[in-house]
Structure 1
Amino acid sequence: MHTMWKGSISFGLVTIPIKLFAATENKDIKMRQLHKEDHSPIKYEKTCTACEKSLEQSEIIKAYEYEPNKFVELEKEDLDALSKEQTKSIEILDFVHLSEVDPIYFDRSYFIGPGENGSKPYSLLKNAMEESGKIGIAKVMIRSKQHLSVVRVYDKGLLLETIHFPDEVRNIDLVPEIPEEVELNEKELKMAIQLIEQLTTEFDPGKYQDDYREALMEAIQSKVKGEQIKVAKQQPKADVVDLMDALQASIDDTKPKKKKTTRTRKKKASSE
């Protein structure tokens, strides 16, 4: 596995050399854009809007647009100076319970591995967090961006998850027409709870697949072989308007199927 970041974790006066590894991967099927006439790949060029000249990377600088068409230039040295003190350190600021962090904050996950001579303090932090049931809240610089993050136990190791800063999470009050108080029918509520109970199970990530990605790959393979793409028939939609009818239909559909018994056969055999 490719090491994407090297540095250390510190909590109190304890410093642990560590390495970060990407914990997830994007499995999206990437499409190329082609010229319709001759099927040649499209090339993208960076062009100046004033002189319409194609630019090399060495000719491009970074700037912040503080007003329309007014920019302040930021040199690489300026950005490096700002991040220099924080680039290689994950400082745990607080320890909290995982249940206190709403999932809306979570962003990306990275496996944490011990660096050189870091096995013992790594194990110490992992075991201490495991026994306390706490997670660490930390700050880290990754690719010139400071992230708030969570350090927690995952399986037999440690995991770092970048999380959004509070001002990056939008206020739900911005969502229009969320009902404040709605008078609910008690029977409808009980049926909705019953439906939830019937659909409740232990979380098993292995039972879920990306059906669209699999279907897209099958279509691509069919095209490669010169075959027709098979289109699955759409299931007819149930014309259910009444909420009670919809709930009852859902409950009936999710009831566990009863196993057939052999009592009838046994009775027939004994009578013969």
Structure 2
Amino acid sequence: MRSVWSGNLAFGLVSIPVKLGSAVSSHKIGFRQVHEADQGRVRYQKTCELDDQVLESGEIGRAFETPDDELVEVTDADLKALPLPTAKTIEISGFLDLAAIDAVQLDTPYFLAPASPAADKPYVLMREALAKAGKAAVGKFAMRNSEHLALVRPRDDVLVLQTLRWPDELNSPSDAAPKGKVSISDNELRLADTLIDALGEADLDSYQDEYAQAVEALVAAKIEGTELPAPSGDRGGKVVDLMAALQASVDQATGGAEDGEGGEAPGATVTQLSAQSRKKATAKKTARKAPAGKSAAKAASARTSTGRTGAAGKAGEKTPAKKAATKKAAAKKATRRRTG
């Protein structure tokens, strides 16, 4: 694990040497800016506004701009000398129930690892104590020229540190809430609840970044000179009749639309379910309708028998040739009885 910060985790009088490493990675697609005329890359140069001189990184420092536009230079040495205990220490000052943490406040996750073998025992002690209490530790630490509010919680065999937004950084949700009074009927709520149940639990491991895959396929097609991937159809739309859209969605999720029990209702545009959702819904419906015990065995036997006969007909059905042979054998038997 590549360390991005090292210091101590202070838990009362217990000090645990730790290091931080990123807990996530990104597969976000990055693009370069190019000159459309000749495909040359667009470069950015840092220049001084006083003399227009192009500067190298070693010639660039930092300064704090005051409200009256005065620039005060601040060096790396100045920042390292700040009288902050959190510069090299994550100070734990309290604890929270995990269920009480607002997801909106969560920011970047890091793995918190012991920095030396001597730190293993106090590290495991804190991990186990937090897991047993169902709590997360809250503290502060400084990294990359900023002080961060942090949450430390157990996850399997490690401690995870997740930076938090400061309370005054959270915007009020009032502007996002619907304006005016909105009435929801019992039937609408019932259908929405039915749809939630029909779609079932989400399996996060099964989700993939389809945008990144589509971009990669596009680039590969351009390189190979093959036909570009066809655009997908428009799956969005304005819902005109909420009840009709809900009912159509439930029918589709439970397989009702395939059995002629429902379908897309007039006056509503319903987003098509993904193949994975349809497969899950079909499996649920099959499980609900499957016969049990002897009935199940009988149904399976009938399906197997039907599968074997195929287009030729049902098992045991006599063809004209078989009928003639049977009739001839019966006549011979009757002749033998008379002569005997």
- Output the CA distance in 1 between the equivalents of 2:178 and 2:114: 47
CA drift of 1:159 comes to 0.5
Which amino acid letter does the alignment assign opposite residue 161 of structure 1? Q
Cα pair 1:83 1:144 within 8 Å, conserved: no
Q: Which moved more, 1:79-88 or 1:107-116?
A: 79-88
> 1:66 maps to which residue?
66
CA drift of 1:189 comes to 1.8
SS in 2 for 1:28: coil
SS in 2 for 1:209: coil
- Aligned pairs for 1:141-152 (under 5 A) are 141-152=142-153
Query: Which of the two has higher C-alpha Rg?
Result: 2
- Output the CA distance in 1 between the equivalents of 2:98 and 2:200: 22
- Aligned pairs for 1:85-96 (under 5 A) are 85-96=85-96
Paired positions, count: 270
3 and 264 in structure 1: CA distance in 2 versus 1, 3 angstrom threshold: closer
> 1:160 maps to which residue?
161
2:206 paired with 1:207: yes
- Aligned pairs for 1:8-23 (under 5 A) are 8-23=8-23
CA drift of 1:185 comes to 1.8
> 1:7 maps to which residue?
7
265 and 120 in structure 1: CA distance in 2 versus 1, 3 angstrom threshold: closer
- Aligned pairs for 1:34-113 (under 5 A) are 34-67=34-67, 69-82=69-82, 85-113=85-113
- Output the CA distance in 1 between the equivalents of 2:27 and 2:94: 34
- Output the CA distance in 2 between the equivalents of 1:55 and 1:187: 67
- Output the CA distance in 1 between the equivalents of 2:218 and 2:44: 28
> 1:266 maps to which residue?
302
> 1:233 maps to which residue?
232
188 and 124 in structure 1: CA distance in 2 versus 1, 3 angstrom threshold: same
Which amino acid letter does the alignment assign opposite residue 208 of structure 2? Q
CA drift of 1:75 comes to 3.3
Provide, for residues 76-117 of structure 1, a one-character-per-residue CA deviation record: whole Å limited to 9, x for no partner: 333222265322211111111111111001111111111111
CA drift of 1:147 comes to 0.6
CA drift of 1:155 comes to 1.7
- Aligned pairs for 1:126-205 (under 5 A) are 126-173=127-174, 175=175, 178-179=178-179, 181-201=181-201, 203-205=202-204
- Output the CA distance in 1 between the equivalents of 2:238 and 2:69: 55
CA drift of 1:20 comes to 1.1
Which has the larger strand fraction? 1
Q: Which moved more, 1:143-152 or 1:51-60?
A: 51-60
Which ranges in structure 2 are unaligned for 5 or more consecutive residues? Answer: 255-280, 291-297, 307-313, 318-340
- Structure 1 residue runs of 4+, over 4 Å off? 235-240, 267-272
CA drift of 1:31 comes to 1.4
SS in 2 for 1:77: helix
110 and 177 in structure 1: CA distance in 2 versus 1, 3 angstrom threshold: closer
Q: Percent identity?
A: 34
SS in 2 for 1:82: coil
- Output the CA distance in 1 between the equivalents of 2:35 and 2:141: 43
CA drift of 1:237 comes to 5.4
Which has the larger helix fraction? 2
Which amino acid letter does the alignment assign opposite residue 219 of structure 2? I
Cα pair 1:111 1:159 within 8 Å, conserved: yes
- Output the CA distance in 2 between the equivalents of 1:183 and 1:14: 55
13 and 239 in structure 1: CA distance in 2 versus 1, 3 angstrom threshold: closer
134 and 63 in structure 1: CA distance in 2 versus 1, 3 angstrom threshold: same
Aligned-pair RMSD on alpha carbons? Answer: 2.6
78 and 181 in structure 1: CA distance in 2 versus 1, 3 angstrom threshold: farther
SS in 1 for 2:81: helix
Q: Which moved more, 1:45-54 or 1:217-226?
A: 45-54
